[in-house]
Structure 1
Amino acid sequence: MKLFGLGGFIFLIFICSFVAVLFPAFFPNWVFLRLIFVGLSAFFLVIGMFHGMKSIQRKLKRLTVKFLFVILGFAGLWYVSPQALAGVLDLGSYYKKEYVTLSGRPDYVGSMSVRKIREQTIQINGLELINTRKIDLDDRYKKMEIKMLPRSKYVISIKILE
């Protein structure tokens, strides 16, 4: 018995992606979004490489569209795959609560903007960390204790020490 068709599966993925966007501070949602982007990039790459695009009549336009799909797919895979792989490898550490603790003053704290999907870069002791929790402007240069995941460098909690 067939419960879902292709449309139901796509709808389920869409709903899960929508929920993941609403809660980016939850690590499994962050990983799920990275995996969705990897899947879309792979889809664009495969379409660009293997789809004939016979509906586009002009040959130059067809080649241009195929080339753009390949470039978009390759660039997406190049950019998102390392984060997605590190996130998948960190799922075990996340559920076992095996965090790495790091303390010190941050060298750099980036701005949290909507453009970066509510992410912020923190550089502390030479490591770039991914943060999804807002840090007050007053606390940006104080000593911090950060719990993070080892491979993805995803920040789980921040405690201000001073």
Structure 2
Amino acid sequence: MSDRTFLGTGGVERRQGRLCRLDLSAAAHPVTTAREWARSVLSRWQIGSPLDEDVVLVVSELVANAMMHAGAVRELHLLWLDRRTVRIEVTDTSRTAPSPMQPRRGRPGGHGLVIVRTLCRSWGTVPRAAGKTVWAELVGSWQPGA
């Protein structure tokens, strides 16, 4: 098995132990590609609990935010930090740090980082030379392979 798997939806996946990377720079539909890829990774990790849906939701929100506010997303990482913690990292092309908005009741928009803050133990931003990485960590009570 090679260390690269080409996905039909435009992404390239690289696996390194407990770190899986997806290049989204050429994906035609980055949010859909990221969501489907995250489900595939979580299935291989045999998480199989409510945490997997939370991870997919946070992936969707972070990639959508990168597309909306930065105009492009470069890469998505999923890291299995320990038996209960998954870290999501989304790298985009903007150096501007995300700023949570006050969502307006009954109106779309402004809910992404509120969802991330609600579901995640912690989240933050790391500046990069040509953009930034927004990360979030989720903790569950699942046992891998159970």
RCO greater where, 1 or 2, for CA within 8 Å and sep 6 or more?
Answer: 2
Larger radius of gyration: 1
Q: Same fold (TM over 0.5)?
A: no
- So what's the TM-score if we normalise by structure 2? 0.30
The structure whose residues are more often strand, as a share, is 2
TM-score under structure 1 length normalisation: 0.28
